[in-house]
Amino acid sequence: MIDNPPNSTYDVFLSHAHVDSQLVLKLASELADKAHFNIWLDKWVLIPGEHWQQEMAKGLDEARTCVVCIGKQTPAGWFREEIERALNRQTKDRLFRVIPLILPGTDPALVDSFLELRTWVDFSAGLENEDSFHLLVSGIKGIPPGRFPREAENEGQLRVPALVAQNSPVAPIRVELRSAPAVLSLDKVNAMLVRLDLVDRRLNASAHGMRHDYRARAVGNDVVVEDGATGLMWQKGGSAETMCFDEAEAYADELAKSQFAGFSDWRVPTLEEGMTLMSPEPIEDMHIDRIFRRGINFIWTSDQLSHDEAFVIYFFDGELYAEKKQFNAWVRVVRRMDD
């Protein structure tokens, strides 16, 4: 298993001066209601009678992102101290993000010299600014903002993200995924989950996961599942029994040689390919769509943590772990439909 996994309880820590508390409370409500973030806000978290300084330090340590809110009456010394405190955390965790935010009515020029080397979010024109809200949500998630809402409206069309919520009515766009095996550090694994918005209940619990375009297809006596969202074709079932890592590779090679479902390019999936199967909520006690055969509870991937450890995806836990290659897991092979 992965040693010392990140233990992020909050998606975002909202740091602010007392004078700006009402504006920040409104912002927190918007982030919670519209983006469904788990937020550390002093008014929501601190318990009367407890040591607030210790609880704030704990909250910052348990957050993935710190947003430092700067208002027109915010003491300059305060926001510099808050940003420096957050940046100190960032030196210990490269995935931790620090986002300065300009509150309504504040002149960005007042803080421009300090923030000139960082990207900040500008709400100086008002909290109702959709583009600023979109930028903030993207920053908290750690993903590129892509096209902004007003740009899409001006072109007479809606922006369709590549990865959207499972219950979204919008058709998904094809997502390109790495198909070649790789050796991945834990930092790279975490960055991949955040970049692709893929669900892992320990490492990226607030992610939306992939919205799939599944179709089951029978080819003779073989049944496969095609996913238009990723361009991947999956084995509907999997291996009849669990096996070690080397046996998993041999199993995939055998299916390729026998031209399972008429194709000869079957392989063990990479970690990012396999994690697209993970659903945010369990479906009949498994974090995977019902279209796949039950009983394949955890599967090998072709990606490795080290020379003797490879990543395994656990659908009943909704989590990934690195296991010794002697460990036994099921195999569900995959291929690209355009290969």
Task: Examine the pLDDT at 167 and tell me if it is beyond 50.
Answer: no
Alpha helices in 65-209 (DSSP H): 76-92, 112-115, 130-141, 149-154, 186-196
d(CA 223, CA 209): 25
Q: What is the mean pLDDT of the chain?
A: 83
For residue 303, the one-letter residue type is D
- Percent of the chain residues past pLDDT 90, beyond the cut: 41
Identify which of 210, 217, 198, 209 has the alpha carbon closest to the alpha carbon of residue 311: 198
Identify which of 206, 55, 58 has the alpha carbon closest to the alpha carbon of residue 140: 206
For the residues 244-259, what does the mean pLDDT come to?
Answer: 96
d(CA 100, CA 114): 10
Identify which of 76, 82, 67 has the alpha carbon closest to the alpha carbon of residue 133: 67
Give me the domains of the chain, ranges plus CATH numbers.
12-154 (3.40.50.10140), 186-336 (3.10.100)
Cβ atoms within 10 Å, residue 65 = 23
Residue 170: predicted pLDDT: 37
3-state secondary structure of 219: strand
User: 108 vs 79, 84, 105, 116, 273, CA distance in Å?
Assistant: 13, 19, 9, 10, 42
pLDDT digits 0-9 by tens, 213-248: 888 988 888 999 999 888 999 999 999 999 999 999
Give the highest mean pLDDT range of 48-62, 113-127, 254-268.
Answer: 254-268
Structure tokens at 261: 């479902």
Task: Give the predicted TM-score (pTM) of the model.
Answer: 0.52
Identify which of 149, 102, 142 has the alpha carbon closest to the alpha carbon of residue 126: 102
Burial degree of 122 (CB within 10 A; 0-12, 13-18, 19+): middle
d(CA 311, CA 58): 30
Band (pLDDT 50/70/90 cuts) for residue 304 is very high
Longest Cα separation, the chain: 72
Residue 60: predicted pLDDT: 85
pLDDT digits 0-9 by tens, 182-195: 999 999 999 999 98
Band (pLDDT 50/70/90 cuts) for residue 44 is very high
The answer to whether 315 touches 249, Cβ cutoff 8 Å, is: no
Containing 101, the helix (H) or strand (E) segment is: strand 97-102
Burial degree of 268 (CB within 10 A; 0-12, 13-18, 19+): buried
Task: Find the length of the chain.
Answer: 339
